[in-house]
Structure 1
C-alpha cells in the first residue's frame, strides 16, 4: 500500500528564519511525517528521492509523498537499515539509481549497494540487484557507514564503518573501516590502489576509518569525508588514494571508558584530519557549497550535527569551524545537500522532516 502524506513548499516553518553570517536564512518545511529520514537526492524533474532507515523509499513531488515500490529488504538493526540514495548524472538516459543498506548475511549483516531502474512514473524500482556486499559480515548493529557519491569518471564511492571491530579498519583483507571505489556495475576498477595486490579487497580506496557517514566531492574533484570518533575525535578528512587515516592507531578522541586510544594523535605514514572536534558533534553528511545563492560561502564545508542539532560551517586553511547555524528545526540532522538552485536542504530525525534554507 502506498502511503500518502501532505506537504507543501511553504510548510509550517514558512515565515521563520535562522540567523547566520549572511543574515536571516528563510527556512521552509518541505515535508514531515517521515520515519528517520536517512538520505535524499534530487531527480532532474525537481522531485526528491528519500530513504527512511526502516526500509521505505519515498518520492517527494507536487505536494505529496509517495512510496516507491520495490526497495530492498533491509535488516533494520541498530544503526542499520535503508541508508543512502544516489541519483547519478546519467539518470535521464539510464533511469538508474543506487541505494546502500544493511543486508542480512548468514548470522550477521553487511553493508550492501544495490542498483535499479526507476520507472517513468517514479513509483517502482525495476530490476533491483546488489552490485556489492561488504565482507566479512558482522553481528554488530553498529558502524555501517554508508554514504554514496559519484566520481567524475562515473565510479561510485562508498563509505564503510568498522562495524565495531576496531582492528578491521587496518586490514586490507576486510572492507570494514574503509572508503571504496566501484565501477558503476559494482566491479573493482583496475586503477584502484590495491587492485593488483593479493589477499586484499580490491575495492578499497582508503582505509583506517572508524565510521564515515559523510562523503562528497568539491569543485576541484577532491574527495572529502566526515567520520565519527569515539569520545571526541570526529574528523573531516581529505581523502587520498591508498591513504591510511589511522583508526584505531591514532585518534584525537578517547575510548568511551576514558582510556587512551592507540598510540596517540599522530604517527608517520598515517594521515592527519583536516579538522577534528572534541567533544564530538556526531557528524552526519557533509557538502561543499558552490556559492550559487550565497557567494560568500563558496567552497565552505557544511556538516550536520546529530548530537548538538546544528549545521557547522567550516572554512579556511587550516580548516576550522567558523559558524554554527541552529534553530528549533535543526534537531538531529541526518543529511544535508545543496539543491540545484543553491538552496540548502537538510533532513532532521528529530521531527521527521526535510527543510529548505534560502534567502
Structure 2
C-alpha cells in the first residue's frame, strides 16, 4: 500500500471511523486561517515523508504517530527504540532522505534520534537508521533500526541533548547537533562531541574533509564546536548550514555554521548565568565566531524552516522559527549570511516545531501535553 494512503483510521484503531477534516478558524491575531489536525503527547519533531502528504510526529515519551494531511486520518508507528525519558530527553528528531520521494513507496529510510541510558546514571543522545515500512492503512513500523552514532561521552543529567538531524543538500553527509549536556566546558574540548555539530556519512562514519579528520575519534567527527544547545538546524536554499541555539539567561543565537569554527560557549555569550553571574560578551573575544542574530530576552527557539512555498510568497527565503518562550512564530528575513527579525505572530501556546508542507502551508506543533498540530494558511 502506498505511504500516501497510510492513514486509514483516525486513532490508530482499525475499527475507528474516519472523521472529516475540521473547518479552519481564524488565528487570534487574524494573520492565519488555522486548521487543527489532532493532538499529541509532548511532540518533539515532525517530518513529511517525501513526495507524500503524510506527516510523521515523534512524541518524547517514546511513541510516534502519523497524519494523512489530506484526509485528516491518523495512525501509529511501532518498532521504536527504548528511550531514556525525562527532563529534555526521550524520542527526538526524525528525518527522511528527500531523494526517496516516490509517493508509491511503502518502505523508505528513516533516521531517528533519542536519549539512551548508560551505566552509573549516565545517558546521551544517539542516532539510529532503519527502514520505515507502511503496508497497513493505519500502522507503520520501523525495521532494522541500528544505532549509527552516539554522543560521547555519556554524562549525568537530562538536559541539552540537542540531537537535531540535517542532511547536506547532496545527501552525502549527515549533520547532528550535539548539545553540551549542561556541562559547559566540554564544548571547548574537541576530545569529545559535547557542544558540537558532527558531520558523518549516512552510515555514521566520520566524513572525509572534516576539520580534524586526521585525529582519532571522536574528534574526527566534529564539524564545529563551542555550542550550547542547538534545537534548530537547517540548510538554506544556497546550501549554507544554520543553527538555532539556546543561550543561558539571554543570548539565544542564530548562527551561520562553518567548517572548523569555534562559537565560543561557555567562554562567551551575550547572556548571563542563571544566578546572575556575568559571562563575557562575544565582542570581547573576536577569536570566536559570533552570532548572526542574538536575542535578549530569549525566544527559547524550537526548530525552524526556510520557507520556499507559494502560500506565503512574500516570505520566500525567510526563516520561520517556532518560539517556545514567545508563544509565537518568528519571521527572520535572510540576506546571504546576514539576517534580521521582521515579525512575530502570536499563537497563544509554546511552539515546538514548524515546517513547510507540500502545498506551501505552514504546519506548527505546539509543545507539551495535548499539543495541537495546526495547519496555517494566509487569512486572506
TM-score norm. by structure 2 comes to 0.87
Shift of 1:18: 5.3
Partner of 2:192: 174
Does residue 133 in structure 1 map to residue 142 in structure 2?
Answer: no
1:149 is aligned to 2:149: no
Mapped to 1, the partners of 2:189 and 2:361 lie a distance apart of 40
What residue number does 2:372 align with?
353
The 1-side partners of 2:265 and 2:64 are apart by 33
What is the distance in 1 between the residues matched to 2:18 and 2:303?
Answer: 24
Cα 1:8–1:228 change in 2 (3 A) is farther
**Counterparts in 2 of 1:202 and 1:59: CA distance versus 1, 3 Å:** same
CA shift in 2, pair 1:76/1:199, >3 Å: closer
Deviation of 1:153 after TM superposition, in Å, equals: 2.6
Alignment CA distance shift 1:146-1:324 (3 Å): same
Q: Is 2:118 aligned against 1:105? A: yes
Note if 1:30 corresponds to 2:49: no
Is contact 2:159–2:181 with CA below 8 Å preserved after alignment?
yes
CA contact (8 A) 1:289 1:300 kept: yes
Kindly report which structure 2 residues correspond to 1:317-332, keeping only aligned pairs within 5 A, or say none: 318-328=338-348, 331-332=349-350
How do 1:239-258 and structure 2 match up within 5 A?
Answer: 239-258=257-276
Query: CA contact under 8 A between 1:100 and 1:111: conserved in structure 2?
Result: yes
Which one is further off, 292-301 or 261-270?
261-270
- Residue 9 of structure 1 contacts residue 28 of structure 1 at CA under 8 Å; is this kept in 2? no
CA distance in 1, matches of 2:324, 2:17: 26
Asked if 2 retains the 8 angstrom alpha-carbon contact of 1:235 and 1:274, the reply is yes
Counterpart check, 1:40 vs 2:49:
no
**Bigger shift: 312-321 or 208-217?**
312-321
C-alpha contact 2:319 2:334 (8 A) present in aligned 1: no
8 Å CA contact retained: 2:65, 2:76: yes
Gaps of at least 5 residues in structure 2 are 1-10
Report Cα offsets for 1:108-130 as digits up to 9, x if no partner: 11100001101142611110110
Cα shift at 1:289? 1.1
Choose from 45, 49, 67 the match for 1:60: 67
For residues 213 and 9 of structure 1, do their structure 2 counterparts lie closer, same or farther at Cα, with a shift above 3 Å needed?
Answer: farther
Aligned pairs, number = 351
Relative distance call for 1:141 and 1:287 in structure 2 (3 A) is same
Partner of 1:72: 81
Note the alpha carbon deviations across 1:305-348, whole angstroms, 9 max, x for none.
Answer: 111200111115552211001133xx111111111221111110
Corresponding position: 1:229 with 2:235: no
Q: How does 1:260-299 map to 2 (within 5 A)?
A: 260-262=278-280, 265-299=283-317
